[in-house]
Amino acid sequence: MLHVLYLFFNEGYASTAGPNLHRADLAVEAIRLTLLLHALVDAPEVTGLLALILLTDARAPTRTGP
């Protein structure tokens, strides 16, 4: 499950196809699902994935800006 969530987020962060480099809809949905999993499962792996995704997503505006 964690691998799927990370791949889902990755596709939103750096789209492999289409005209947009960043697909915010996919990234936001992956974050939402990871937050939900974190609320349901108390595991360090889930917390680590959530931290990684949130940190990476915080860099998106700078990465795609001027």
Predicted TM-score of the model (pTM)? 0.86
Tracing tokens 């974050």 back to the chain, one arrives at: 31
Q: Which residue has the tokens 């964690």?
A: 2
Query: Is the model's pLDDT at 19 over the cut of 80?
Result: no
Give the number of domains in the chain: 1
Write out pLDDT tens, residues 25-48.
Answer: 999 999 999 999 999 999 999 999
**Confidence band of 65 (pLDDT split at 50, 70, 90):** low
**Residues making up the chain, counted from first to last:** 66
Residue 33's CB is within 10 A of a number of other CB atoms, namely 16
SS3 call for 28: helix
DSSP structural state of residue 8: H
